[in-house]
Structure 1
Amino acid sequence: MRARLADAAGDGAAARDALQLALAHDPESPQLRVVYAEALARAGQGDRAEAEARRAVELAPPGVAATDAHLILGKVLALAGRTEAALRELEAAAQIEAQLVRARREGEDDDAFDPEPWRVLARVRLDAGDDVGAAAACEQLSAFDPAEAAAVLRELAGRLLEAKKTDVAEKLVRRAIDLAPSVPEAWKLLARLQEDRERLVEARVAWERALVADPDDPDALVAAGELALRTGDLAGARAWLGKLLRTAVDEKGARVRVAAAWLDAKQPAEALAAVAGGEGGEGGEGGEGDARLIYLRGVALQQLRRWGDAAAAFAEVKPSSRDLYGSARVGLTYVLARAGRPGEAVRAARRGLEEDPADPALLFALGEAYDRAGQRDAALVQMRAVLAVKVDHAEALNYLGYAYAERGERLDEAQALLERALQVEPENGYYLDSLGWVYFKKGDLERAVKALERAEALVGSEATI
């Protein structure tokens, strides 16, 4: 009991001391050895944890204690990177637990089932690259508890999806759905997998099935709305995102997510409607959530090219909003410059840099403001300042490269800068346009034409290109 209390209080050393004392009184207890091995493993004392786990295996009689002993030994060996030995212990734990379950069920006793041996066995096999073996462990578990097996399959599928093993991930998540079709998480995972593969019709079906399982799931409602926007279904997007606004427990958080979805789809009027009523009053005095909504209002107004209104919104975001304040200052600088107020834009950027002097986005915004104000030399100096804090800032690299090309000076440096920008964003047509202009200035017409044709293919018909 003292060990449990100490562990709950975060005092691992005291917990281990209490367990040592308990073992001094009862050295033949396999259960105490198991608990002590777990405590040692958490403390990073792998060798001692292994010794205690092995002693537990030796002491444990057939039954639950044997399952626990082999299980903890398997976990300790897995942590030590001794995969084959770990798998042997975990397979033994699963085999013992399976025998116990069968015996209990023959006696019509379904209590005290422990899925942990199969859960850990599947994880260790997956870590070892044995996808088939991991799935097999889940199949064994499904014979005793389909819901637990489905949960492990979902976990494994998520990890495989992160590793870009989409084919195997899809098989596992579909099996998880077979075992537990009413669990929305499996359908959500399948939907994301299908979206990654650009199978948008199948993804939509999966999101809809997730929402059948849980009609008010906020993640599924946002995702279904975003997918509708990707496919041009504005009515569908309004339905899904509107339902989120009506049902969300966190109304302001929902408004943030919905507005961001509309902005990503370049639908600023819809974003403004989502923001309305959720700001908690002008000035964002309701807290961080309110500041986010005010900022998003500014972005929506910026997309609508209502420069003055956007500037007023961005200016309401206070320094206490931390990272959001920097983004708002970038937006404020941008819209003021485009509103024909370059002096104010410069001051807005400088004010933001007082809070974070090394913010590359703000440093770049100040450079753009100088450019808009006609202070080209100051703009060039500022863009170099951007690169001093972020060497791969593609926009600053492009600005300098194009500026040198326009001036017809430092053309080799301009080419190098633009090639660096294209390493960061290889498919950026505007950077290719700048590089084509450098080639033209250097008299290399063949490469200039090739770069400009590629730029037009990426950007589309554009007068400057």
Structure 2
Amino acid sequence: MKYRHLAIPVALATAGAVTLFAPLAQAQMPRPMSSQAVNDRAVVMGILAAEFSLQQGDVASAAATYYEVAKRTQDAKVAERAVDLLVRTRRVNDAKEIAALWQVADPDAIRPLQIALALALTSQDETRAQQAVTRVLSLPEEKRAEAVMDVARQLAQYRDRDAAVKLASVFTERLPKLPESYYALSVASTGNNNARINESMLAIDRALALRPDWPQAVAVKSRLLLARSAAGKEGAADRAAAMSVLEKAIAAAPDSRELRVLAARTEFDLENFAEARKRFLALADEGKEDAEEMRLAAALSAYHAKDWVTADREFSEALEADRGDPAAVRYYLGRISESQKRWAEAVERYSQVPPSERYWESQLRVANALAQDKQMLQAVAHLRALKPGNALERLSLAQTESALWRDAGENVKAFEALDAALVVDSEDADLLYESAMLAERIDRMDEAEKRLRKVIALQPKRAHAYNALGYSFADRNINLDEARTLIEKAHELAPDDAAILDSMGWIAFRQGRLEDAAAYLKRAFDKFQDGEIAAHLGEVLWALGRKDEARGIWQTQLKAQPDSDILKKTMARLER
């Protein structure tokens, strides 16, 4: 769960990109134009007519009028107003035309470059994007760094990494002594999805070499190290390095609040919640403008540290003092009640979450709390009264009802909940997959097979769909050649998945390849100590005559999973 869930912004280096449809929304009447333009009666009448149209709610007419007036006057302020209205009415090509005019009218301004680039990137117009980036080079020297950073924020959010890197490379080639150039290349390389981490790291190291302990560059490097730690073998070393980079920068600039806030957030991301809380509280005690934000962050740290008493008290205090996003605060209060199994209180708290990004999840959690409180009929009635607004909400609604029935041991009703949702969303692969798993549980094998084959057709790279169908055949000892083909395809797509390794072992066992079976099952069990895998591995070892080894694996796993039905049945069958 990320830190931003309390609507407390995490100041990552890639945040704050220009948004296409928002930046000019609050524009006012243009300031006075040149005397020549003002003396043009047609221009003045055009502006008055456009503003009157706006007052009447006719944005389209206002945009059309300002478009013509901007072309006639060549005035920067008129162009700014025109671009705003053209964007709001989705006339993107016309907005790009007037943005180009705006740049000519005010060649030293950063704003028209921002808007021109945003328009170009939104419409994937690489030529105009290149023109906007290149124009930064002609800005006065004192404005270039700021302009490059503006471009960097936009490129960080652009989906096409190759195009983003190409655009950012203009700065490293033409402005090689400017640290912001390498910052732009770094965030353009990695974007928001942690792509090209090594390339991005080289660029940000170059930026820090030109400007040591630069807070924004330090933030990027720390983020890159954390991202690399999640993907690489040197995870612990990279996590330590992420904090070391920050501590070094703080030592060099102890008064940098930006760095100390970043250090607190990084400790949070590293799940060092107690240390994060100390840092947030120290920042809050300084009484700066963000003191309330820091106190909420400290409360969130207590929540994640499972210090329920402290978190409950501090979130309740925040609610009383009207601090933070009330929807998020009420949501976390509900989570605290749920964590302590105070189901009635959880229902009450979740029910008070107002419409927000947390509203839908809170409503689903109301149902779960009711079910946990032995009020299953009320839980289902609550779910069925909800009105999902999109496919994702329909999916989550069906999955929640199905899970409640499944937990209650009602697999037929769990299947029916998903089946009803498929009437509306018949091509939803997630619904198909989950309903196939339930169809198998209630012995509707033909239906399970049919749905899994449809999932494979819809999502040919979904490894677990191949695995589920192949394992179903292998477990029933039918269609073994097709089962092997399906499971091997799953293994090709996800070679290290324990469940798929288990299936590879089981189909090998069914086909009499006992040594292969034992090797796959041993790998699966090393990755995930599970009753079913232990049962399979033990059965193969038993068939190989290694009965004592099989018994040892069974007994050890049974201590960890005393309720494993398959493990008990396997032991009873083979030991008799």
Residues 307 and 190 of structure 1: CA distance in aligned 2, closer, same or farther (over 3 Å): same
Give the counterpart of 2:206 among 81, 85, 96.
81
Q: Could you say which residue in structure 1 is the equivalent of 2:547? A: 445
Matched, 1:159 2:284: no
Q: Distance in 1 between matches of 2:254 and 2:178?
A: 31
What is the Cα-based RMSD across aligned positions, in Å?
4.4
Give the counterpart of 2:448 among 345, 368, 377.
345
TM-score scaled to structure 2, two decimals? 0.55
Give the counterpart of 2:527 among 418, 424, 429.
424
SS of structure 2 residue aligned to 1:395: helix
- 1:47-196 matches, cutoff 5 A: 48-49=174-175, 51=177, 79-81=204-206, 83=208, 86-87=211-212, 120=216, 123=219, 129-132=244-247, 134-135=249-250, 140=255, 149=257, 153-163=260-270, 168-179=275-286, 185-187=293-295, 189-194=297-302
Q: 2:483, 2:507 within 8 Å by CA — same for their partners in 1?
A: no
Q: Could you say which residue in structure 2 is the equivalent of 1:391? A: 495
Q: Distance in 2 between matches of 1:380 and 1:21?
A: 63
Unaligned runs of 5+ in 1: 24-29, 55-76, 91-118, 142-148
Q: Distance in 2 between matches of 1:327 and 1:363?
A: 14
Query: Could you report, residue by residue, the CA deviation over 1:296-353 in whole angstroms, capped at 9, with x for unpaired residues?
Result: 323333333333333333234459969x922211221122222232222222222333
Residues 198 and 12 of structure 1: CA distance in aligned 2, closer, same or farther (over 3 Å): same
Q: Could you say which residue in structure 1 is the equivalent of 2:380? A: 272
Q: What amino acid sits opposite 2:380 in the alignment?
A: L
Q: Could you say which residue in structure 1 is the equivalent of 2:339? A: 230
Q: 1:436, 1:447 within 8 Å by CA — same for their partners in 2?
A: yes
SS of structure 2 residue aligned to 1:129: helix
Query: Could you report, residue by residue, the CA deviation over 1:106-164 in whole angstroms, capped at 9, with x for unpaired residues?
Result: xxxxxxxxxxxxx54874897682544555688625xxxxxxx4x76444322233345
Of all paired residues, the percent bearing the same amino acid is 16
Q: Distance in 2 between matches of 1:335 and 1:169?
A: 43
- 1:234-245 matches, cutoff 5 A: 234-244=343-353
Q: What amino acid sits opposite 2:408 in the alignment?
A: L
Q: Could you say which residue in structure 1 is the equivalent of 2:466? A: 363
SS of structure 2 residue aligned to 1:305: coil
Q: Distance in 2 between matches of 1:273 and 1:357?
A: 37
Q: Distance in 1 between matches of 2:177 and 2:511?
A: 74
Aligned length: 391
Give the counterpart of 1:314 among 406, 413, 418.
418
Give the counterpart of 2:361 among 234, 243, 254.
254
Q: Distance in 1 between matches of 2:220 and 2:445?
A: 60
Query: Could you report, residue by residue, the CA deviation over 1:38-84 in whole angstroms, capped at 9, with x for unpaired residues?
Result: 57978342364354689xxxxxxxxxxxxxxxxxxxxxx99453536
Residues 137 and 253 of structure 1: CA distance in aligned 2, closer, same or farther (over 3 Å): farther
**Residue 228 of structure 1: how far off its partner (Å):** 3.3
**Residue 457 of structure 1: how far off its partner (Å):** 2.0
Q: Distance in 2 between matches of 1:184 and 1:32?
A: 34
Residues 458 and 226 of structure 1: CA distance in aligned 2, closer, same or farther (over 3 Å): farther
SS of structure 1 residue aligned to 2:488: helix
Q: 1:394, 1:420 within 8 Å by CA — same for their partners in 2?
A: yes
Residues 7 and 383 of structure 1: CA distance in aligned 2, closer, same or farther (over 3 Å): same
Q: Distance in 1 between matches of 2:415 and 2:151?
A: 58
Q: 2:293, 2:324 within 8 Å by CA — same for their partners in 1?
A: no
Q: Distance in 1 between matches of 2:485 and 2:217?
A: 59
Q: Distance in 1 between matches of 2:370 and 2:173?
A: 55
Unaligned runs of 5+ in 2: 1-105, 118-127, 156-167, 181-201, 223-241, 572-576
Q: What amino acid sits opposite 2:402 in the alignment?
A: G
TM-score scaled to structure 1, two decimals? 0.67
**Residue 242 of structure 1: how far off its partner (Å):** 2.5
SS of structure 2 residue aligned to 1:6: helix
SS of structure 2 residue aligned to 1:81: helix
Matched, 1:299 2:403: yes
